[in-house]
A and B are shown apart, each in its own frame.
Chain A
Amino acid sequence: NAGVTQTPKFQVLKTGQSMTLQCAQDMNHEYMSWYRQDPGMGLRLIHYSVGAGITDQGEVPNGYNVSRSTTEDFPLRLLSAAPSQTSVYFCASRGDRAGSYGYTFGSGTRLTVV
């Protein structure tokens, strides 16, 4: 199992550009989430999904869109990048069986918006 795979690992965008951060998991997990991590602010929830076709907003959803057409994939779209979106983005997934409640995180995407 590859676990949770995020691409790209690094990205530089110009203000106003759009892009999609990819996230895929091969563990047949129903639950997936996107977090951003900024210094001193911990991990903040952007969007999450409890299954294919079902998504909901987290703490900081503005400027981001998500969709969940398959169990495996949960892409995060930046519609019009702003410098305030410079951050490290983590995708995470978890199963629904006893003993597997904890999230498994991907390795992250470091995004810089100039």
Chain B
Amino acid sequence: GENVEQHPSTLSVQEGDSAVIKCTYSDSASNYFPWYKQELGKRPQLIIDIRSNVGEKKDQRIAVTLNKTAKHFSLHITETQPEDSAVYFCAATLYNTDKLIFGTGTRLQVFP
């Protein structure tokens, strides 16, 4: 089955800097890769996703890149703000199976 590894487990950046979180997946058949943000005590919320027919997707300050050959994908946050502080999860699935498997999470801290 699918296995998703996520790095780093913690990341501290200064406000205004960029943050990058990386994930690798094992099943080459996976074709859908979402990212979720979870604030302390809250539910996970989808922030961006990408399908395998696209190499990069951007939404304001966040972007996701996908390298299918290497089986890894990354989340990029530019101009970080204190409200970006949260735990971020990547995930992967073969879309029509709906068996969404998550990475172990990255705790991002943005210092003012």
Chain A residues packing against B (C-beta within 8 Å): 31, 33, 35, 40-45, 48, 50, 56, 58-59, 90, 94, 101-108
Residues on the A chain within 8 Å of B99, using CB: 45, 48, 56, 58
Docked pose: A40 CA to B43 CA in angstroms? 16
Given contacts A50-B98, A58-B99, whether A42 and B43 have CB atoms under 8 Å apart is no
Residues on the B chain within 8 Å of A33, using CB: 98, 100
Residues on the A chain within 8 Å of B103, using CB: 42
Residues on the B chain within 8 Å of A94, using CB: 98
Docked pose: A41 CA to B103 CA in angstroms? 8
Stretch at the interface among B14-22, B44-52, B56-64, B72-80: B44-52
The interface on chain B, measured as residues whose beta carbon lies within 8 A of the other chain's beta carbons, has a size of 22
Docked pose: A104 CA to B43 CA in angstroms? 9
Residues on the A chain within 8 Å of B42, using CB: 107
Residues on the B chain within 8 Å of A43, using CB: 44, 89, 91, 102
Task: Judge whether B98 and A31 touch: CB under 8 Å.
Answer: yes
Chain B residues packing against A (C-beta within 8 Å): 1, 6, 9, 32, 34, 42-46, 49, 89, 91, 95, 98-105
Instruction: Among A43, A90, A101, A106, find the residue whose CB has the most chain B CB atoms closer than 10 A.
Output: A43
Task: Judge whether A42 and B49 touch: CB under 8 Å.
Answer: no
Report 24 cross-chain contacts, Cβ distance below 8 Å, ordered by A residue: A31-B98, A33-B100, A35-B102, A42-B6, A42-B103, A42-B104, A43-B44, A43-B89, A43-B91, A45-B102, A48-B98, A48-B99, A48-B100, A50-B98, A58-B99, A59-B1, A59-B101, A94-B98, A101-B32, A101-B34, A101-B95, A102-B46, A105-B44, A106-B43
Given contacts A105-B43, A105-B45, whether A42 and B34 have CB atoms under 8 Å apart is no
Docked pose: A40 CA to B106 CA in angstroms? 10
Which residue of the partner chain B has the closest CB to A59?
Answer: B101
* A53 CB, nearest partner CB in chain B, Å: 15
Docked pose: A42 CA to B92 CA in angstroms? 13
Which residue of the partner chain B has the closest CB to A31?
Answer: B98
* B55 CB, nearest partner CB in chain A, Å: 18
